[in-house]
Amino acid sequence: GRRGRNISISVTRCVASSVNIFPIKSNNYCPSGLTLHEICRKRQLYSHLSLEPALSGFLRQMLIGAGGRRKLDNRQEERIYACVPQIIPYTTTSASRNITPILLFSQLNSLSSSYDQPLQRALTMAVHGAPPKRKEIYKYEAPWPLYSMNWSVRPDKRFRLALGSFVEEYNNKVQIVSLDEDTSEFSAKSTFDHPYPTTKIMWIPDSKGVFPDLLATSGDYLRVWRAGEPETRLECVLNNNKNSDFCAPLTSFDWNEVDPNLIGTSSIDTTCTIWGLETGQVLGRVNLVTGHVKTQLIAHDKEVYDIAFSRAGGGRDMFASVGADGSVRMFDLRHLEHSTIIYEDPQHTPLLRLAWNKQDPNYLATVAMDACEVIILDVRVPCTPVARLNNHRACVNGIAWAPHSSCHICTAGDDHQALIWDIQQMPRAIEDPILAYTAAEGEINQIQWGATQPDWIAICYNKALEILRV
Protein backbone atom coordinates (compact mmCIF):
# COMPACT_ATOMS: atom_id res chain seq x y z
CA GLY A 1 0.00 0.00 0.00
CA ARG A 2 0.96 3.66 -0.18
CA ARG A 3 2.01 3.77 3.47
CA GLY A 4 4.34 0.81 2.97
CA ARG A 5 6.12 2.57 0.11
CA ASN A 6 6.50 5.73 2.16
CA ILE A 7 8.05 3.80 5.00
CA SER A 8 10.48 2.13 2.64
CA ILE A 9 11.55 5.50 1.28
CA SER A 10 12.09 7.00 4.71
CA VAL A 11 14.07 3.95 5.85
CA THR A 12 16.28 4.06 2.79
CA ARG A 13 17.04 7.75 3.22
CA CYS A 14 17.92 7.37 6.86
CA VAL A 15 20.09 4.33 6.31
CA ALA A 16 22.15 6.27 3.81
CA SER A 17 22.94 8.95 6.37
CA SER A 18 22.88 6.88 9.53
CA VAL A 19 26.60 6.25 9.56
CA ASN A 20 27.06 9.82 10.74
CA ILE A 21 24.81 9.33 13.76
CA PHE A 22 27.15 7.00 15.60
CA PRO A 23 30.69 7.14 14.18
CA ILE A 24 32.50 3.91 14.95
CA LYS A 25 35.52 4.46 17.16
CA SER A 26 38.77 2.62 16.91
CA ASN A 27 39.50 -0.27 19.24
CA ASN A 28 41.94 1.94 21.12
CA TYR A 29 38.97 3.94 22.38
CA CYS A 30 37.40 0.97 24.18
CA PRO A 31 38.82 -0.51 27.34
CA SER A 32 38.15 -4.23 27.48
CA GLY A 33 36.11 -6.04 30.09
CA LEU A 34 32.93 -3.97 29.98
CA THR A 35 29.40 -5.33 30.30
CA LEU A 36 26.78 -4.46 27.74
CA HIS A 37 25.20 -2.06 30.20
CA GLU A 38 28.50 -0.25 30.68
CA ILE A 39 29.04 -0.12 26.91
CA CYS A 40 25.66 1.51 26.34
CA ARG A 41 26.30 4.05 29.07
CA LYS A 42 29.80 4.83 27.86
CA ARG A 43 28.70 5.31 24.26
CA GLN A 44 25.75 7.41 25.50
CA LEU A 45 23.33 5.29 23.52
CA TYR A 46 20.52 5.98 25.95
CA SER A 47 20.85 9.73 25.68
CA HIS A 48 20.91 9.51 21.88
CA LEU A 49 17.62 7.64 22.08
CA SER A 50 16.00 9.90 24.67
CA LEU A 51 13.26 10.86 22.22
CA GLU A 52 12.39 7.22 21.67
CA PRO A 53 11.90 5.71 25.15
CA ALA A 54 10.32 2.58 23.71
CA LEU A 55 13.40 1.89 21.62
CA SER A 56 15.68 2.78 24.51
CA GLY A 57 13.78 0.32 26.67
CA PHE A 58 14.15 -2.33 24.00
CA LEU A 59 17.90 -1.75 23.82
CA ARG A 60 18.13 -2.15 27.55
CA GLN A 61 16.20 -5.39 27.32
CA MET A 62 17.87 -6.83 24.25
CA LEU A 63 21.41 -5.49 24.31
CA ILE A 64 21.76 -5.55 28.08
CA GLY A 65 19.46 -8.24 29.39
CA ALA A 66 20.35 -10.77 26.73
CA GLY A 67 24.00 -10.55 27.63
CA GLY A 68 23.51 -10.56 31.36
CA ARG A 69 26.51 -9.20 33.22
CA ARG A 70 29.06 -11.15 31.23
CA LYS A 71 32.13 -9.10 30.34
CA LEU A 72 32.68 -8.42 26.66
CA ASP A 73 35.95 -7.71 24.92
CA ASN A 74 36.76 -4.81 22.58
CA ARG A 75 35.80 -6.66 19.44
CA GLN A 76 32.36 -7.63 20.76
CA GLU A 77 31.75 -4.07 21.89
CA GLU A 78 32.56 -2.68 18.46
CA ARG A 79 30.26 -5.19 16.77
CA ILE A 80 27.35 -4.19 19.00
CA TYR A 81 28.07 -0.51 18.49
CA ALA A 82 28.25 -0.97 14.72
CA CYS A 83 24.70 -2.33 14.74
CA VAL A 84 23.18 0.77 16.30
CA PRO A 85 23.12 2.91 13.12
CA GLN A 86 21.00 0.22 11.52
CA ILE A 87 18.47 0.43 14.37
CA ILE A 88 18.04 4.20 14.27
CA PRO A 89 16.28 4.52 10.87
CA TYR A 90 13.26 2.55 12.03
CA THR A 91 12.38 5.25 14.52
CA THR A 92 11.22 7.31 11.55
CA THR A 93 8.43 4.95 10.55
CA SER A 94 4.79 5.62 11.23
CA ALA A 95 5.01 3.38 14.33
CA SER A 96 8.03 5.18 15.76
CA ARG A 97 6.39 5.62 19.14
CA ASN A 98 5.84 1.89 19.38
CA ILE A 99 9.22 0.38 18.52
CA THR A 100 9.33 -3.26 19.53
CA PRO A 101 11.49 -6.35 19.10
CA ILE A 102 9.03 -7.54 16.46
CA LEU A 103 9.39 -4.27 14.55
CA LEU A 104 13.17 -4.34 14.66
CA PHE A 105 13.51 -7.98 13.69
CA SER A 106 10.45 -8.48 11.50
CA GLN A 107 9.00 -5.26 10.11
CA LEU A 108 11.64 -5.07 7.40
CA ASN A 109 10.53 -8.42 5.99
CA SER A 110 7.21 -6.79 5.14
CA LEU A 111 9.03 -3.86 3.57
CA SER A 112 11.28 -6.12 1.45
CA SER A 113 14.39 -4.64 3.05
CA SER A 114 17.78 -6.28 3.13
CA TYR A 115 18.68 -4.99 6.57
CA ASP A 116 16.54 -7.27 8.73
CA GLN A 117 18.55 -10.50 8.69
CA PRO A 118 21.97 -8.84 8.98
CA LEU A 119 20.73 -6.81 11.94
CA GLN A 120 19.24 -9.80 13.70
CA ARG A 121 22.31 -11.91 13.02
CA ALA A 122 24.74 -9.20 14.11
CA LEU A 123 22.94 -8.49 17.38
CA THR A 124 22.67 -12.16 18.26
CA MET A 125 26.23 -12.95 17.26
CA ALA A 126 27.53 -9.98 19.23
CA VAL A 127 25.78 -11.05 22.41
CA HIS A 128 25.83 -14.83 22.17
CA GLY A 129 28.49 -15.59 19.57
CA ALA A 130 26.01 -17.92 17.81
CA PRO A 131 23.24 -17.61 15.23
CA PRO A 132 19.65 -17.16 16.47
CA LYS A 133 17.83 -20.36 17.38
CA ARG A 134 14.28 -19.24 16.64
CA LYS A 135 12.66 -16.74 14.35
CA GLU A 136 10.54 -13.92 15.69
CA ILE A 137 7.84 -14.32 13.08
CA TYR A 138 6.44 -17.12 10.91
CA LYS A 139 4.15 -16.59 7.95
CA TYR A 140 1.72 -18.78 6.03
CA GLU A 141 0.01 -17.87 2.77
CA ALA A 142 -3.40 -19.49 2.33
CA PRO A 143 -5.08 -20.04 -1.04
CA TRP A 144 -7.94 -17.67 -0.11
CA PRO A 145 -8.59 -14.57 2.02
CA LEU A 146 -8.72 -15.43 5.73
CA TYR A 147 -11.00 -14.27 8.50
CA SER A 148 -11.55 -16.71 11.36
CA MET A 149 -8.62 -18.34 13.13
CA ASN A 150 -7.88 -20.12 16.41
CA TRP A 151 -4.98 -21.76 18.26
CA SER A 152 -5.18 -25.39 19.25
CA VAL A 153 -4.59 -25.89 22.99
CA ARG A 154 -3.67 -29.56 23.00
CA PRO A 155 -0.26 -30.14 24.59
CA ASP A 156 0.89 -32.38 21.73
CA LYS A 157 -0.02 -29.80 19.05
CA ARG A 158 2.07 -26.78 19.99
CA PHE A 159 1.83 -24.70 16.82
CA ARG A 160 -1.42 -25.89 15.28
CA LEU A 161 -4.09 -23.44 14.12
CA ALA A 162 -7.41 -23.64 12.29
CA LEU A 163 -8.13 -21.07 9.57
CA GLY A 164 -11.41 -20.14 7.90
CA SER A 165 -11.69 -18.65 4.43
CA PHE A 166 -13.66 -15.51 3.62
CA VAL A 167 -15.05 -15.93 0.13
CA GLU A 168 -18.33 -14.17 -0.63
CA GLU A 169 -20.12 -17.26 -1.89
CA TYR A 170 -21.55 -20.50 -0.52
CA ASN A 171 -18.45 -22.65 -0.95
CA ASN A 172 -15.78 -21.87 1.62
CA LYS A 173 -12.95 -23.76 3.29
CA VAL A 174 -11.49 -24.51 6.70
CA GLN A 175 -7.83 -25.47 6.88
CA ILE A 176 -5.77 -26.88 9.72
CA VAL A 177 -2.11 -25.83 9.55
CA SER A 178 0.86 -26.70 11.72
CA LEU A 179 4.32 -25.23 12.10
CA ASP A 180 7.30 -27.54 11.73
CA GLU A 181 9.80 -26.08 14.19
CA ASP A 182 12.71 -27.84 12.48
CA THR A 183 12.05 -26.42 9.02
CA SER A 184 10.37 -23.19 10.26
CA GLU A 185 7.59 -23.73 7.72
CA PHE A 186 3.83 -24.02 8.01
CA SER A 187 2.10 -26.90 6.25
CA ALA A 188 -1.57 -27.72 5.70
CA LYS A 189 -2.59 -30.87 7.58
CA SER A 190 -6.25 -30.96 6.61
CA THR A 191 -8.61 -28.92 4.42
CA PHE A 192 -12.36 -29.35 4.26
CA ASP A 193 -15.41 -27.65 2.79
CA HIS A 194 -17.60 -25.32 4.81
CA PRO A 195 -20.91 -23.68 3.82
CA TYR A 196 -20.49 -19.90 3.84
CA PRO A 197 -17.55 -18.20 5.60
CA THR A 198 -17.04 -19.21 9.22
CA THR A 199 -17.87 -16.38 11.60
CA LYS A 200 -15.73 -18.07 14.26
CA ILE A 201 -13.57 -21.15 14.76
CA MET A 202 -12.63 -22.66 18.12
CA TRP A 203 -10.76 -25.75 19.20
CA ILE A 204 -12.16 -27.57 22.19
CA PRO A 205 -10.57 -25.97 25.29
CA ASP A 206 -8.88 -29.18 26.38
CA SER A 207 -5.33 -28.40 27.45
CA LYS A 208 -4.87 -31.89 28.94
CA GLY A 209 -5.90 -33.82 25.84
CA VAL A 210 -8.56 -35.93 27.57
CA PHE A 211 -11.43 -35.10 25.16
CA PRO A 212 -11.66 -36.04 21.49
CA ASP A 213 -9.75 -33.69 19.19
CA LEU A 214 -12.68 -31.47 18.22
CA LEU A 215 -13.15 -28.04 16.70
CA ALA A 216 -16.34 -26.06 16.17
CA THR A 217 -17.36 -23.54 13.53
CA SER A 218 -20.24 -21.09 13.29
CA GLY A 219 -21.97 -19.76 10.20
CA ASP A 220 -25.46 -20.74 9.18
CA TYR A 221 -25.36 -23.35 11.95
CA LEU A 222 -22.98 -24.54 14.68
CA ARG A 223 -20.92 -27.47 13.45
CA VAL A 224 -18.60 -29.73 15.44
CA TRP A 225 -15.76 -31.49 13.63
CA ARG A 226 -13.30 -34.21 14.60
CA ALA A 227 -9.81 -33.23 13.49
CA GLY A 228 -7.72 -35.71 11.59
CA GLU A 229 -4.81 -35.87 9.16
CA PRO A 230 -5.60 -35.66 6.33
CA GLU A 231 -9.36 -36.14 6.86
CA THR A 232 -11.39 -33.98 9.25
CA ARG A 233 -14.87 -35.40 9.78
CA LEU A 234 -18.13 -33.60 10.53
CA GLU A 235 -19.51 -34.94 13.80
CA CYS A 236 -22.78 -33.01 14.17
CA VAL A 237 -24.73 -29.96 13.02
CA LEU A 238 -26.50 -28.16 15.89
CA ASN A 239 -29.73 -26.57 14.64
CA ASN A 240 -32.38 -25.24 16.99
CA ASN A 241 -34.90 -24.48 14.24
CA LYS A 242 -35.44 -27.79 12.47
CA ASN A 243 -39.06 -26.99 11.60
CA SER A 244 -38.06 -24.27 9.14
CA ASP A 245 -36.14 -24.17 5.89
CA PHE A 246 -34.63 -20.86 6.98
CA CYS A 247 -32.06 -20.20 9.66
CA ALA A 248 -30.85 -17.18 11.59
CA PRO A 249 -27.07 -17.01 10.99
CA LEU A 250 -24.79 -17.31 13.98
CA THR A 251 -22.51 -14.33 14.55
CA SER A 252 -20.23 -15.97 17.12
CA PHE A 253 -19.94 -18.61 19.84
CA ASP A 254 -17.83 -19.50 22.86
CA TRP A 255 -16.71 -22.85 24.22
CA ASN A 256 -16.77 -23.07 28.01
CA GLU A 257 -13.27 -23.68 29.36
CA VAL A 258 -14.37 -25.10 32.72
CA ASP A 259 -17.00 -27.41 31.23
CA PRO A 260 -16.17 -28.23 27.57
CA ASN A 261 -19.62 -29.81 27.26
CA LEU A 262 -21.11 -26.29 27.10
CA ILE A 263 -21.12 -24.07 24.01
CA GLY A 264 -22.91 -20.73 23.79
CA THR A 265 -23.94 -19.19 20.44
CA SER A 266 -25.13 -15.70 19.46
CA SER A 267 -27.43 -14.99 16.55
CA ILE A 268 -28.92 -12.19 14.50
CA ASP A 269 -32.38 -13.26 15.76
CA THR A 270 -31.62 -11.49 19.13
CA THR A 271 -31.07 -14.80 20.97
CA CYS A 272 -28.26 -16.63 22.70
CA THR A 273 -28.40 -20.42 22.86
CA ILE A 274 -26.54 -22.64 25.31
CA TRP A 275 -25.85 -26.08 23.90
CA GLY A 276 -24.99 -29.21 25.83
CA LEU A 277 -22.44 -31.36 24.04
CA GLU A 278 -21.95 -35.08 24.56
CA THR A 279 -18.58 -36.33 23.43
CA GLY A 280 -17.36 -39.88 23.23
CA GLN A 281 -14.53 -41.95 21.83
CA VAL A 282 -14.66 -43.25 18.27
CA LEU A 283 -15.95 -46.82 17.95
CA GLY A 284 -15.37 -47.78 14.34
CA ARG A 285 -17.21 -45.09 12.35
CA VAL A 286 -19.94 -44.53 14.94
CA ASN A 287 -20.76 -40.87 15.46
CA LEU A 288 -20.61 -40.30 19.21
CA VAL A 289 -20.68 -36.49 19.35
CA THR A 290 -24.16 -35.06 19.77
CA GLY A 291 -25.69 -31.89 21.18
CA HIS A 292 -28.95 -30.59 22.61
CA VAL A 293 -30.32 -27.19 23.57
CA LYS A 294 -29.98 -26.53 27.29
CA THR A 295 -31.54 -23.07 27.12
CA GLN A 296 -32.30 -20.30 24.67
CA LEU A 297 -32.98 -16.71 25.69
CA ILE A 298 -33.72 -13.38 24.08
CA ALA A 299 -30.53 -11.57 25.03
CA HIS A 300 -30.85 -8.19 23.28
CA ASP A 301 -33.37 -5.93 21.57
CA LYS A 302 -31.53 -6.34 18.27
CA GLU A 303 -28.96 -8.68 16.72
CA VAL A 304 -26.45 -10.31 19.08
CA TYR A 305 -22.91 -10.07 17.72
CA ASP A 306 -20.72 -11.83 20.29
CA ILE A 307 -20.86 -14.03 23.38
CA ALA A 308 -18.18 -15.01 25.90
CA PHE A 309 -18.16 -17.08 29.09
CA SER A 310 -16.70 -15.44 32.18
CA ARG A 311 -14.36 -17.13 34.65
CA ALA A 312 -16.25 -15.53 37.53
CA GLY A 313 -18.37 -17.65 39.84
CA GLY A 314 -16.53 -20.86 39.05
CA GLY A 315 -16.22 -20.16 35.34
CA ARG A 316 -19.14 -22.28 34.19
CA ASP A 317 -22.42 -20.39 34.50
CA MET A 318 -21.76 -16.72 33.76
CA PHE A 319 -21.49 -15.20 30.31
CA ALA A 320 -21.87 -11.84 28.59
CA SER A 321 -23.04 -10.73 25.18
CA VAL A 322 -22.94 -7.62 23.00
CA GLY A 323 -25.22 -6.57 20.21
CA ALA A 324 -26.63 -4.07 17.78
CA ASP A 325 -28.49 -2.26 20.56
CA GLY A 326 -25.13 -1.00 21.84
CA SER A 327 -25.22 -2.80 25.19
CA VAL A 328 -23.11 -5.29 27.11
CA ARG A 329 -25.28 -7.68 29.10
CA MET A 330 -24.30 -10.29 31.65
CA PHE A 331 -26.21 -13.50 32.37
CA ASP A 332 -26.08 -16.33 34.90
CA LEU A 333 -27.28 -19.76 33.78
CA ARG A 334 -28.53 -20.36 37.33
CA HIS A 335 -30.74 -17.24 37.26
CA LEU A 336 -31.84 -16.57 33.71
CA GLU A 337 -34.95 -14.65 34.74
CA HIS A 338 -32.91 -11.45 34.68
CA SER A 339 -29.70 -9.99 33.24
CA THR A 340 -27.37 -7.15 34.16
CA ILE A 341 -26.58 -4.32 31.76
CA ILE A 342 -22.88 -3.62 32.26
CA TYR A 343 -22.53 -0.88 29.64
CA GLU A 344 -24.55 0.99 27.05
CA ASP A 345 -22.98 3.00 24.27
CA PRO A 346 -24.10 6.66 24.60
CA GLN A 347 -24.99 6.82 20.87
CA HIS A 348 -26.35 3.26 20.85
CA THR A 349 -23.66 2.30 18.35
CA PRO A 350 -23.63 -1.48 17.83
CA LEU A 351 -20.98 -3.33 19.83
CA LEU A 352 -19.26 -6.02 17.78
CA ARG A 353 -16.72 -7.80 19.98
CA LEU A 354 -16.40 -8.88 23.59
CA ALA A 355 -13.48 -10.44 25.47
CA TRP A 356 -13.04 -11.28 29.16
CA ASN A 357 -9.77 -10.80 31.00
CA LYS A 358 -8.26 -14.29 31.34
CA GLN A 359 -6.82 -13.70 34.81
CA ASP A 360 -9.15 -11.15 36.42
CA PRO A 361 -12.85 -11.79 35.67
CA ASN A 362 -13.78 -8.29 36.82
CA TYR A 363 -12.55 -6.81 33.54
CA LEU A 364 -13.76 -7.17 29.98
CA ALA A 365 -13.12 -5.35 26.72
CA THR A 366 -15.49 -4.40 23.93
CA VAL A 367 -15.33 -2.52 20.66
CA ALA A 368 -18.02 -0.63 18.78
CA MET A 369 -18.73 -0.72 15.07
CA ASP A 370 -16.29 1.42 13.04
CA ALA A 371 -14.62 2.58 16.29
CA CYS A 372 -10.90 3.30 16.57
CA GLU A 373 -10.85 2.61 20.30
CA VAL A 374 -11.29 -0.33 22.66
CA ILE A 375 -13.33 0.14 25.82
CA ILE A 376 -12.26 -1.57 29.07
CA LEU A 377 -15.05 -2.20 31.56
CA ASP A 378 -15.09 -3.19 35.23
CA VAL A 379 -18.21 -5.17 36.17
CA ARG A 380 -17.96 -3.71 39.69
CA VAL A 381 -18.42 -0.22 38.22
CA PRO A 382 -21.08 -0.74 35.55
CA CYS A 383 -21.82 1.70 32.72
CA THR A 384 -18.57 3.66 33.14
CA PRO A 385 -15.47 2.60 31.16
CA VAL A 386 -12.33 2.39 33.28
CA ALA A 387 -10.07 2.87 30.24
CA ARG A 388 -10.16 3.68 26.56
CA LEU A 389 -7.39 2.43 24.29
CA ASN A 390 -7.44 4.79 21.34
CA ASN A 391 -4.14 4.75 19.44
CA HIS A 392 -5.54 2.99 16.38
CA ARG A 393 -5.97 5.20 13.32
CA ALA A 394 -8.70 3.04 11.75
CA CYS A 395 -11.45 0.79 13.04
CA VAL A 396 -10.54 -2.00 15.47
CA ASN A 397 -11.32 -5.54 14.32
CA GLY A 398 -10.05 -7.76 17.11
CA ILE A 399 -9.17 -7.89 20.81
CA ALA A 400 -7.29 -10.59 22.73
CA TRP A 401 -6.31 -10.65 26.41
CA ALA A 402 -3.02 -12.20 27.46
CA PRO A 403 -3.60 -15.74 28.76
CA HIS A 404 -0.96 -15.36 31.47
CA SER A 405 -1.32 -11.75 32.62
CA SER A 406 -4.22 -9.69 33.96
CA CYS A 407 -2.85 -6.37 32.70
CA HIS A 408 -2.00 -7.00 29.04
CA ILE A 409 -4.31 -6.90 26.05
CA CYS A 410 -3.68 -6.90 22.30
CA THR A 411 -5.79 -5.03 19.76
CA ALA A 412 -5.71 -5.06 15.95
CA GLY A 413 -7.40 -3.09 13.22
CA ASP A 414 -7.68 -1.68 9.73
CA ASP A 415 -4.64 0.54 10.29
CA HIS A 416 -2.48 -2.60 9.78
CA GLN A 417 -1.39 -2.46 13.44
CA ALA A 418 -1.42 -4.96 16.30
CA LEU A 419 -0.85 -3.14 19.59
CA ILE A 420 -0.12 -4.59 23.03
CA TRP A 421 -1.22 -2.49 25.99
CA ASP A 422 -0.33 -2.52 29.68
CA ILE A 423 -3.43 -1.46 31.62
CA GLN A 424 -2.12 -1.86 35.16
CA GLN A 425 -2.16 1.90 35.76
CA MET A 426 -5.96 2.07 35.45
CA PRO A 427 -7.96 4.15 36.25
CA ARG A 428 -5.32 6.62 35.09
CA ALA A 429 -5.40 7.22 31.34
CA ILE A 430 -3.47 4.78 29.17
CA GLU A 431 -1.94 6.86 26.41
CA ASP A 432 0.32 4.54 24.44
CA PRO A 433 0.79 0.82 23.83
CA ILE A 434 3.97 -0.86 24.99
CA LEU A 435 4.49 -2.96 21.87
CA ALA A 436 3.36 -2.71 18.26
CA TYR A 437 3.56 -4.59 15.01
CA THR A 438 2.66 -3.27 11.58
CA ALA A 439 1.48 -5.61 8.84
CA ALA A 440 2.51 -3.50 5.86
CA GLU A 441 0.57 -5.60 3.37
CA GLY A 442 -2.95 -5.47 4.74
CA GLU A 443 -5.61 -4.65 7.30
CA ILE A 444 -5.53 -7.03 10.28
CA ASN A 445 -8.95 -8.62 10.64
CA GLN A 446 -8.25 -11.28 13.27
CA ILE A 447 -6.00 -11.61 16.31
CA GLN A 448 -5.57 -14.50 18.75
CA TRP A 449 -3.18 -14.84 21.71
CA GLY A 450 -2.04 -18.43 22.16
CA ALA A 451 -3.70 -19.82 25.31
CA THR A 452 -0.94 -22.35 25.91
CA GLN A 453 1.68 -20.35 24.00
CA PRO A 454 1.72 -16.98 25.80
CA ASP A 455 4.83 -15.88 23.89
CA TRP A 456 2.99 -15.99 20.57
CA ILE A 457 0.24 -13.92 18.98
CA ALA A 458 -1.41 -14.85 15.68
CA ILE A 459 -2.88 -12.37 13.20
CA CYS A 460 -4.66 -12.66 9.85
CA TYR A 461 -4.68 -10.18 6.99
CA ASN A 462 -5.54 -10.75 3.33
CA LYS A 463 -4.48 -14.36 2.63
CA ALA A 464 -1.76 -14.36 5.28
CA LEU A 465 -1.46 -15.89 8.73
CA GLU A 466 1.44 -14.62 10.83
CA ILE A 467 2.47 -15.70 14.30
CA LEU A 468 4.52 -13.14 16.19
CA ARG A 469 6.78 -13.84 19.11
CA VAL A 470 6.26 -11.28 21.86
Which residues lie across from 377 on neighbouring strands?
364
- Are 156 and 454 contacting, i.e. CB atoms less than 8 angstroms apart? no
Is residue 378 left, alpha or beta, with left meaning phi > 0 and alpha meaning psi from -120 to 50? beta
Which run of H or of E encompasses 48?
helix 45-48
Backbone angles phi, psi at 19, to 5 degrees: -60, -25
Count of all residues that appear for the chain in the document: 470
Distance CA 421, CA 409 (A): 5
pTM of the model: 0.72
What is the chain's pLDDT, residue by residue, as a tens digit (470 residues)?
333 333 332 222 222 222 222 222 333 333 345 554 555 555 554 444 443 444 445 444 444 444 444 454 555 555 555 554 444 444 333 333 344 444 444 433 333 333 334 444 544 444 444 444 568 899 999 999 999 999 999 988 889 999 999 999 999 999 999 999 889 999 999 999 999 999 999 999 998 888 899 999 999 999 999 998 889 999 999 998 777 777 899 999 999 999 999 999 999 999 999 999 987 654 455 557 888 999 999 999 999 999 999 999 888 999 999 999 999 999 999 998 889 999 999 999 999 999 999 999 999 999 999 999 999 999 999 999 999 999 999 999 999 999 999 999 999 999 999 999 999 998 889 989 999 999 988 999 999 999 988 999 999 999 999 999 98
